[in-house]
Copies of this chain bind each other. A is one copy, B any other.
Amino acid sequence: MAQEEVQNGGPEKVAEVSFTALKPQLMVEAPKAADAVQFYKSAFGAVEAGRTVYPKRKAEQEQPHVLSAQLELGGSTILVSDIADNSSPVKTEGTGCVLCLETEDVEAAIAKAVSAGGVAEGEVTEGDGACCGGRVGKVKDPYGYVWLICSPAKKCGDAEA
Binding site for B on A (CB under 8 A): 1, 4, 16-22, 24, 26, 28-29, 32, 35-36, 39-40, 42-45, 72-76, 78, 94-97, 99, 101-102, 109, 112-113, 116-118, 139, 141-145, 147
Contact = CB atoms under 8 A, between A and B. Distances in A.
Please state the number of chain copies in the assembly: 2
B73 A26 contact: no
A99 B99 CA distance: 12
Nearest to A4: B45
Contacts of A43: 112-113, 116-118, 139, 141
A142 B36 CA distance: 8
5 contacts: A22-B73, A39-B116, A39-B142, A74-B101, A76-B76
Given A17-B45, A45-B4, A97 B145 contact: yes
